[in-house]
Amino acid sequence: CAEYFSEYTCLFRGGLLSRMDDIISELENLLLSEPFRRVVTPAGNLMSVSMSSCGAWGWTSDHAGYRYVSISPATGMPWPDMPVTFYQLAVYFAGQAGYHDFKPDSCLINCYRPGSIMGLHQDKDEADLSAPVVSFSLGPGAEFMWGGTERSMPWHTIHLYHGDVLVWGGKDRLRFHGVRRVLPEWNPWTGDCRINLTFRKTEQSN
Ligand code: MD3
Ligand code: FE
């Protein structure tokens, strides 16, 4: 069932499909207290992707930079707890990909409406880059760019679909990547919104 793009990146096609009821109901519940919102980049550009977070640390951005914070800038309260179902699934798939001590303390939830994109970037705001990142894709499919360790390197296109889980770490942790296009589809669970959850360990030690 697992497909390896390299020694360090593993795709589980449809890995979440049997758990979709649970995942969507947890998601709907946490979005009640932490709705999607759009943030600005340090350069002052409004991102086309809207975001929420759960867990001890949530990602945010503003004029001062990109960072993880423990208080939601939108609510002034701690982020919602990470649902146990999410945590267990993320740890399970990390383990299946060979990453055995994954203890995510952050789950970023991205919502891509038709036309939303995420430019090529590296994920390097986390203190411990030896921990993998686990991503869950829900809703309409996307063309994902999987690049090299330099921005100028060519990228491969990976299609990500509803229910897919992607785990990457090791030497792939610092690859440039982004979302080039979200397919104009209607998904029974998410409508026209592509939702991506990324589970990370953001703190140096647990
Ligand atoms: C990184 N999210 O939130 S996750 C992000 O679909 C982010 O919302 C994207 O990039 C999204 O920071 C992509 C999937 C992913 C897949 C393969 C990678 C990220 C990767 C390979 C190397 C590095
Ligand atoms: Fe990223």
pLDDT in tens, 178-198: 999 999 999 999 999 999 999
Q: Domains plus CATH for the chain?
A: 2-200 (2.60.120.590)
Q: Could you tell me what percent of the chain has a pLDDT over 90?
A: 91
Give per-residue pLDDT as tens, 32-87: 999 999 999 999 999 999 999 999 999 999 999 999 999 999 999 999 999 999 99
Its pTM surpasses 0.80: yes
In this structure, the strands spanning 156-160 and 118-121 are unpaired
State the closest ligand 1 atom to the C-alpha of 121, by its place in the atom list counted from 1.
10
Q: Binding site for Fe cation: residue ranges?
A: 121, 123, 177
Q: What is the CA radius of gyration of the chain?
A: 16
ipTM score of complex? 0.93
Q: Is the CB of 54 under 6 A from ligand 1?
A: no
Q: Is the CB of 52 under 6 A from ligand 1?
A: no
CA neighbor of 171 nearest in space, from 138, 136, 141, 129? 129
Say which residue the tokens 């991205």 belong to: 110
Cα separation, 168 vs 154, whole angstroms: 18
